[in-house]
Amino acid sequence: MSVSESITIDEFIARMDALAKIDPKAMGDLIGHRVKCNTELGEHESVQVGKENEDYVVGILGILNGVFGAYHSGERKGWGAIAALVDEDDPMKGECTGFSRIENDVSESDVEQETT
């Protein structure tokens, strides 16, 4: 595979999905891993982070969603578009079974707010 200078979210998800099928355990471990990060990254407008006690924590999925950006309005305001899927029959197994796009329902009033 050659270097891609541009890639859509859906193309990225398809590539990540293929990797999850090759090794769901490794992908699950990567997706589940969090590290402490500083306040500037923790408060970044599109990076998805969590908090443990007083510390911000981030994982690879939060970083990837930050690269592609977050929804600015709608039902999923502040969310990224990429989701990791886990084995629904045994979610504690920690396997990532694939990736999907998180759709965002945007009302007409949300669209009007974005354009004004």
- Whole-prediction pTM: 0.78
Domain count, the chain: 1
pLDDT of residue 94: 80
Residue 2 lies in a domain: no
Q: What is the pLDDT of residues 94-113, one digit of tens each?
A: 899 999 999 998 754 544 45
Q: How many C-beta atoms lie closer than 10 Å to residue 81's C-beta?
A: 20
Quote the domain boundaries for residue 93: 9-115
- The widest CA-to-CA distance across the chain, in whole angstroms, is 47
